[in-house]
Amino acid sequence: MTIKKTSKKESVWFDENTDDTIQRIAAGEHTTVSDVIRKLVDKGMKTEGYKVEDDRLYDMVKTALVEISKPQVERLAAISAKATQISAASYFLLFYMIRMMLPEDRRDELDDTAATARKLGIEMLKLRDKDIDAFIRSGIERIKDE
């Protein structure tokens, strides 16, 4: 094992039994005590999950998690799609009912307001972590101005 230039020296105390074991390992592997200690610390960090260098294990865990969560993700997507359909149906039903209650001469005004609301809805979907409340307030002002 080679020492990188970014390595840092640390002093460590071992009991006699541990030190003898490390000495025997170093002699058996024809390496230094420092290399044995680095190797054992590295292996221990990987075992405890503090260090991930084994991409194969990471990929296996990731693949397993994706496979396990896939049915739940698909179910949530289906629920979301149904909620969107119900919301759209409610919107169109409400719009139709209001339009039918209005006198003929006011229906164009409602159509224009609905078109503006639809454009604002599309703009809102494009927002990222912005102040949605401020966006809604400015959208209401835009509708009032038309």
Average pLDDT of the residues in 31-41: 93
The pLDDT tens digits of the residues spanning 104-126 come to 999 998 898 888 888 888 888 88
Structure confidence at residue 39 as a pLDDT band (50, 70, 90): very high
* Residue 54, pLDDT score: 63
* Residue 34, pLDDT score: 92
* Residue 30, pLDDT score: 94
Delimit the domains of the chain by residue range: 16-51, 54-101, 103-146
Average pLDDT of the residues in 26-43: 93
Structure confidence at residue 51 as a pLDDT band (50, 70, 90): confident
Can you tell me the distance from the alpha carbon of 34 to that of 32, in angstroms, rounded to the nearest whole number? 5
